[in-house]
C-alpha cells in the first residue's frame, strides 16, 4: 500500500517539528532545571519566581505536556518537573490530564492517517500482544499500559490494532497512568520540599517519609507489573 504524498508531507512536518522541539529543549537549557546542583544554587530565585507566576506556569506546563506527549515524548521528564514545581496534588492533576489528552490526540491522529503502517509495525514488533488479546479490550489495554518494557509512545499507539473507541482509550489511559504518575510526582515533590527548606540533595534525604514512601511504592508497582507481564502478556505458545 502506497502512502499518499499528503501523508508523506505530513510525516515530514511532524519529524521536523519534533527535531525543532528537541533542539529548543536543549538549546535553552531546560534540562538544567532537573540538575540538583543547579537547583540548589538557584533555589531562592527559582521558587520565588514559581510562587509569583504559578498559574501562568501551570497553564504553560499543561499545554506543553499535551504537545510533548503528542510528539511521542516520554512522560517522565514532565512528571519530574511537575513534582518539583507544583507539588504532589496539583502536579499529579496537571500531569495525568495532560498526558491523557496528549496520548488521545496522538492515537486519534495516527489512527486516521497512518493506521495500516502503524498496525503492521506493532504486529511485527510485538506479536504476542496481538496473539494474547481477548474480548475485554479495555481491561487488556489497561494492564498493558501498566507493564514495563514497552516504550510510552508505543503504548499510546497499540490500540490502533484493536480498533479501540476513543472514549475507552481515554479512560484506560487515564486510570492506568494514575498510579505511576502520582508516585513519580510525589517523589519529586518531596525533593522539591527539601530544596525549598534549604536542604542538600544527597542519600540522607531518603530518610524522609515523603521520599522513601514513593520510592517503596514505585518499587512495588514495578514488581507487580512485572508479575502481571510474565503471567498474562508474554506467555510463549507451546504449539
Q: For residue 20, is it within any domain?
A: no
Check the CA dihedral 96-226-140-105 and report its sign.
Answer: positive
Q: For residue 3, is it within any domain?
A: no
For residue 129, the model assigns a pLDDT of 64
For residue 238, the model assigns a pLDDT of 41
Q: For residue 74, is it within any domain?
A: yes
List of residues 6+ apart from 204 with CB closer than 8 A: none
| Weakly modelled stretches of the chain, pLDDT under 50 | 1-2, 204, 236-239
CB 99 within 8 A of CB 69: yes
Q: For residue 159, is it within any domain?
A: yes
- CA dihedral 187→193→199→205, nearest 10 degrees, is -20
For residue 170, the model assigns a pLDDT of 92
The three-class DSSP label of residue 92 is helix
Q: Which three cell numbers stand for residue 79?
A: 512528571
Q: For residue 7, is it within any domain?
A: no
For residue 111, the model assigns a pLDDT of 82
For residue 49, the model assigns a pLDDT of 87
For residue 98, the model assigns a pLDDT of 95
- Which domain, by its residues, includes 216? 37-233
CB 106 within 8 A of CB 66: no
For residue 236, the model assigns a pLDDT of 44
Q: For residue 64, is it within any domain?
A: yes
Q: For residue 31, is it within any domain?
A: no
Q: Provide the number of structural domains found in the chain.
A: 1
CB 83 within 8 A of CB 91: yes
For residue 239, the model assigns a pLDDT of 39
Q: For residue 27, is it within any domain?
A: no
For residue 99, the model assigns a pLDDT of 93
Predicted structure pTM score:
0.75
CB 69 within 8 A of CB 103: yes
Amino acid at each position: 500500500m502506497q502512502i499518499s504524498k499528503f501523508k508523506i508531507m505530513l510525516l515530514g512536518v511532524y519529524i521536523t517539528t519534533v527535531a525543532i522541539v528537541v533542539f529548543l529543549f536543549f538549546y535553552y537549557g531546560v534540562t538544567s532545571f532537573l540538575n540538583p546542583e543547579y537547583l540548589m544554587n538557584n533555589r531562592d530565585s527559582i521558587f520565588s519566581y514559581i510562587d509569583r507566576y504559578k498559574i501562568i506556569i501551570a497553564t504553560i506546563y499543561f499545554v506543553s505536556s499535551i504537545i510533548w506527549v503528542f510528539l511521542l515524548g516520554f512522560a517522565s521528564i514532565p512528571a519530574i518537573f511537575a513534582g518539583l514545581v507544583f507539588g504532589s496534588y496539583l502536579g499529579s492533576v496537571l500531569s495525568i490530564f495532560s498526558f491523557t489528552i496528549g496520548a488521545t490526540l496522538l492515537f486519534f491522529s495516527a489512527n486516521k492517517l497512518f493506521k495500516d503502517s502503524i498496525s503492521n509495525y506493532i504486529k511485527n514488533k510485538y506479536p504476542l500482544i496481538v496473539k494474547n488479546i481477548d474480548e475485554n479490550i479495555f481491561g487488556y489495554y489497561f494492564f498493558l499500559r501498566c507493564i514495563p518494557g514497552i516504550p510510552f509512545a508505543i503504548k499510546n499507539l497499540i490500540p490502533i490494532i484493536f480498533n479501540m473507541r476513543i472514549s475507552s482509550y481515554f479512560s484506560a489511559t487515564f486510570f492506568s497512568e494514575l498510579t505511576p504518575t502520582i508516585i513519580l510526582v510525589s517523589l519529586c515533590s518531596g525533593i522539591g520540599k527539601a530544596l525549598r527548606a534549604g536542604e542538600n540533595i544527597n542519600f540522607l534525604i531518603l530518610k524522609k517519609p515523603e521520599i522513601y514512601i514513593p520510592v517503596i511504592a514505585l518499587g512495588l508497582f514495578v514488581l507487580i507489573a512485572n508479575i502481571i507481564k510474565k503471567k498474562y502478556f508474554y506467555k510463549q505458545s507451546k504449539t
